[in-house]
Amino acid sequence: MARMKSNRKKNFFTGLTVFIVIFLLAFFGIQFFTKTGIFRIPGVVYYDESLNASELELLKSIFTEEIDLDKDVTISAEESYTRPELKEGEYLYSISVPTADFYDTREDTSEFIENEYALIPIEDLSFNKKLLSMDGKYYLDTFDSGAVFRTIKFESEKYEDEIQPLVEETFTKTFPDKSTVLSFAQTGVTALSRGMNRKYDAVGGDATYFASEIGTFLSGFDLTHTSNESSFTDFASYDNICSKKGFINTLLAIGLDIVELTGNHNQDCGDVAATETIDIYNANNIKIVGGGKTADEAAIPLEISEKGNNITFLAYNLSTGGATYDNSPGANQYYEEKAVQDINAAKARGDFVLVDIQYYECSAYASEYEDATCDYANSAAGDQVGFFRHLIDLGADMVVGTSAHQPQTYELYGNGVIYYGLGNLFFDQVWWPGTTRSLILANYYYEDKLLQTKIVPTVYDADMQTKLMDKETSQWFLNRLISVRP
């Protein structure tokens, strides 16, 4: 009996030993073949040679020796000239845009010799550099081309569990796009009058005729502005600076959002016409700046708040008449104390401050040939350069002259930019080459700052249909203006 008990005990321990051995073999075998447990191999980070030095430095600050990955990850970079459609594990890391000197009149990278222009991060773009197109694509118009788009790609079997939590905060970025960039077309003198009234009748009262070549371009902006010097009235003739009432359709055809009333001719057909004209603007949801039915109304700044951008638009009259001083309609007279108050209040809010000035006019139109006299900033009465620069010194970010019937020079000054005169967008002055031209300032705002201004020259002829100037003429003309900057 004792022997039988001994055999049973022996068999028990033998079986237990076999079970333990089999269990251990299975346990460690599974670990070995699945690379887990004591046989586990940590995930490895593979950096592709497409990554540049700064990207490598950033990535290595994330994937340190303390990071224990379960699966390998491969990190690479790709560049494209169109905005990529991102897939899982892909991040748009940078957008680089081509720029040149502010005063360079070339428009596209194809016009430059290699290395003449600079690719800079979109975050570094500002109004004092000139954004160029790439292959005819302008980034601030398209947002999906006209730039170099760089994508960082993470590939891992456990991307969602392991990699995404490590990199998402760092690599998820926002860039200027259509939802956050406010486009604002600022134009010069409009006076739909005199010979334009004659032409209006000749084309059967079709006021859209005058905007047929420029309307699509201007209405494509979020906001479009002009300085209209002519009121709508039934008393408009072929000789006065008053507009037939149907001319409101010219302004609607360019998508007008903001009308400036600092001009000195809005009362040419009387206060009733000027007042009724303001009613017409209001009925068409056109905002007014620099003028009004009374002096108090005319002095109200226009506050713009769109797409996360806040702009205070101030407009004053400092010229030969047209201002209101009482309860009659007219332009907003410039007073230094009020201008300082307006600018300081806007700066306190953190707004971008845009100031338009109806200044004294240059009238060097005594020739049917090219006369560059009015190109100069000080070609009109008074110290135009000193006064416009003074407004920048007071805190304005941009100062624009809206009285010149010929485009004038422009310059960077202090912390801002000055455009001394924009010329005629719409008028009947077809006798002198200078008065048929104008500058459209295509302004692009982002996060309360002026990101860029694209200068777009226009021209009209005896047909009085304003159109975009061709590239060759545009560059010649802008070079002429730049050559006489202060």
User: Where are the chain's structural domains?
Assistant: 45-171, 181-482
383 neighbors 412 (Cβ within 8 angstroms):
no
33 neighbors 27 (Cβ within 8 angstroms):
no
**Is 181-482 assigned to CATH 3.40.50.1970?**
no
Q: At what angle do helices 164-171 and 53-62 cross, to 10 degrees?
A: 130
Structure tokens at 5: 């008990």
250 neighbors 208 (Cβ within 8 angstroms):
yes
Question: Does the model's pTM come out above 0.85?
Answer: yes
Helix (H) or strand (E) holding 408: none
pLDDT digit string (tens) for the chain, length 486 residues? 555 555 555 555 665 565 565 654 554 455 455 545 554 478 999 999 999 999 999 999 999 999 999 999 999 999 999 999 999 999 999 999 999 999 999 999 999 998 899 999 999 999 999 999 999 999 999 999 999 999 999 999 999 999 999 999 999 999 999 999 999 999 999 999 999 999 999 999 999 999 999 999 999 999 999 999 999 999 999 999 999 999 999 999 999 999 999 999 999 999 999 999 999 999 999 999 999 999 999 999 999 999 999 999 999 999 879 999 999 999 999 999 999 999 999 999 999 999 999 999 887 776 778 889 999 998 777 899 999 999 999 999 999 999 999 999 999 999 999 999 999 999 999 999 999 999 999 999 999 999 999 999 999 999 999 999 999 999 999 999 999 999
Q: Quick one: which of 207, 281, 298 has its CA closest to 244?
A: 207
